[in-house]
Amino acid sequence: MSTLEAIKINQSSTAHRMKASFPVRRLRFDFTSSKRYWFDNDAYFTHLMNAMSAIFPQGELMLIEALRNIRDKIDDPLLQAEISAFIGQEAMHAKEHLAFNRYADEQHINIDKLQNEVKDLYAIMQKILPSMHIMSIGCAIEHITATLGAELLRNDDWNNRLVGPVAELWLWHAVEENEHKAVFFDAYVASGGG
Ligand SMILES: [Fe+2]
Ligand SMILES: [Fe+2]
């Protein structure tokens, strides 16, 4: 075996061993004990956050798809590990927000309408926009979700009013949006984004 071949094998095994700077937590929530107006009995804020939950899963699936489309352009093994962990976290968010949205639907809260509108919008975007344009939109989405998440974690006027499994869902999501907030932008730049 030549030295060059040995280095290549060593580099690829290093790539496999690279660990992301944040974990993928596999959680599962049971919302059956939650109240209809789960945000401190406040209908306005409950519906505001229900609406956000309605649009999250499709957005998260779009971000995952966008990264999968460009990750071949990225050589950095550590960034590849971060992308894998990002995809793991967002996939879990989409799964648990879908579970929450099903629960809200059972409470006769009309989640479907908004959910389907967003699904159609993203389908059109994915059809007509270049992959790097979708990446740039993803950078903006990630910036906003990390900012909202930080506010939810820091501001006791918000987080003190959350209780039960819905609180755990939102606080878990807020923490992870902040853990992985840089990944999408780093992937955008590493894949040629200006
Ligand atoms: Fe997320
Ligand atoms: Fe995110």
How do residues 120-131 score in pLDDT, each as one tens digit?
999 999 999 999
What's the pLDDT band for 175 if we cut at 50, 70, 90?
very high
CA 89 to ligand 1 centroid distance, Å = 7
pLDDT at 16: 53
pLDDT at 45 > cutoff 80: yes
pLDDT digits (tens, 9 = 90+) for 64-98: 999 999 999 999 999 999 999 999 999 999 999 99
Tell me the per-residue pLDDT of 13-39, one tens digit each, with 9 for 90 and over. Answer: 444 568 999 999 999 999 998 989 999
Given a cut of 70, is residue 183 above it in pLDDT? yes
Q: What pLDDT score does 18 carry?
A: 86
- Among the bound ligands, the one closest to the CA of 94: 1
User: In Å, what is the CA distance from 120 to each residue of 55, 62, 125?
Assistant: 11, 12, 9
60: CA distance to ligand 2 center in Å? 7
Question: How many A from CA of 3 to the centre of ligand 1?
Answer: 43
Distance 36 CA to ligand 1 centre (A): 23
Q: Which residue has the higher pLDDT, 13 or 101?
A: 101
Q: Which of these, 26, 39, 139, 143, lies nearest to 93 by C-alpha position? A: 26
Q: How many helices (H) and strands (E) does the chain have?
A: 8, 0
Q: What is the pLDDT of residue 163?
A: 86
> Which run of H or of E encompasses 51?
helix 43-70
Q: CA-to-CA distance for 102 and 192, rounded, in angstroms?
A: 39
Residue 176: pLDDT band (50, 70, 90) is very high
Q: Give distance in angstroms: CA of 184 to centre of ligand 2.
A: 8
Q: Does 9 score more than 70 pLDDT? A: no
b/e per residue 161-171 (b: at least 16 CB within 10 A): ebeebbbebbe
Distance 56 CA to ligand 1 centre (A): 7
Mean pLDDT score across all residues of the chain? 91
